[in-house]
Amino acid sequence: MNHTRWKLSRERRAAEGHVEPPDVLAEREQIRLAHELGQLVYDRRTALGLTQAVLGERLGMNTDDVEAVELGGMLPLTADLPVRLSTALDVTVDLHVVAKGHNRVVFDDHAA
C-alpha cells in the first residue's frame, strides 16, 4: 500500500471545488498558529534549561497551563500571552498577520 497517494478529505473536496467557510478557515489558522507558538515556547524553554514549573512561575500560570501552551491547546490566543512570553523567555515575539496570507509567529533573541 502506498500512503503517499492518500489525501485528506478536505483536500479531495477542495479539488472538487468546495470552498470552506471563512469561519472554518479562521479557526484552522488559529489552531495552526497555536501549534507554532507552542513549539517555539517548548524549544526556547528547553534551550534555557527551564522546567514547565519555573516557566509557569514566570508567566503566572500553573504547570498544566504551560503544558497547554506548548501543545498548542491555549485557544484563543490572547494579546497578553506574547507579551508575557517575551518577558519570561527573554525573547522578542513577532506575530506577522497578513490578510489572506500565511500568518506566523517568530521568537528572536534579545540583542546582547
pLDDT, tens digit (0-9, with 9 covering 90-100), for 65-102: 999 999 988 777 778 888 999 999 999 988 887 777 67
pLDDT in tens, 36-59: 999 999 999 999 999 999 999 999
What residue ranges in 1-112 does DSSP mark as E strands? Answer: 91-96, 104-109
**Is 68 part of any domain?**
yes
Q: How confident is the model at residue 11 (pLDDT cuts 50, 70, 90)?
A: confident
Report pTM: 0.78
**Is 4 part of any domain?**
no
**Is 6 part of any domain?**
no
Domain around 88: 20-109
Domain tally for the chain? 1
Provide DSSP, 50-72.
--HHHHHHHHT--HHHHHHHHTT
Q: In sequence order, what are the residues at sequence separation of 6 or more whose Cβ sits closer than 8 angstroms to the Cβ of residue 74?
A: 34, 37, 38, 65, 68, 81
**Is 41 part of any domain?**
yes
Q: What is the CATH number of the domain that holds 68?
A: 1.10.260.40
**Is 8 part of any domain?**
no
**Is 66 part of any domain?**
yes
